[in-house]
Structure 1
């Protein structure tokens, strides 16, 4: 389960091309960029169980950004 999930637009105007995000998973902090096409680019370490984490991030971004 992801904890303390935060996101913000990459640019102050809030327009695309994407968002930066951070969260804690298994007591480790992870960061990345979420692109408009749904691609996730890790800006640090890649979390274990990456595919499960990516699915959760997609769900959170869909809920918070697109709806």
Structure 2
């Protein structure tokens, strides 16, 4: 499970979609860019391949709850 999830807009004009995200998973910090399409562009070392699908799903749910609500 990921923890300490944070996000902030990429652009000063908050109507333009795109967010910087950061979180901890398995005691390691990850950062990335969450695009409006749900695609995540990792800006640090990406998580292990077997964890990417699970993390992408969890991040998408968090973004739906916090941003699109």
SS at match of 2:67: helix
Q: Which runs of at least 4 in structure 1 moved beyond 3 Å after TM superposition? A: none
TM-score (normalised: structure 1): 0.93
Gaps of 5+ in 1: none
TM-score (normalised: structure 2): 0.90
Give the paired residue count. 67
Gaps of 5+ in 2: none
RMSD, aligned CA:
0.9
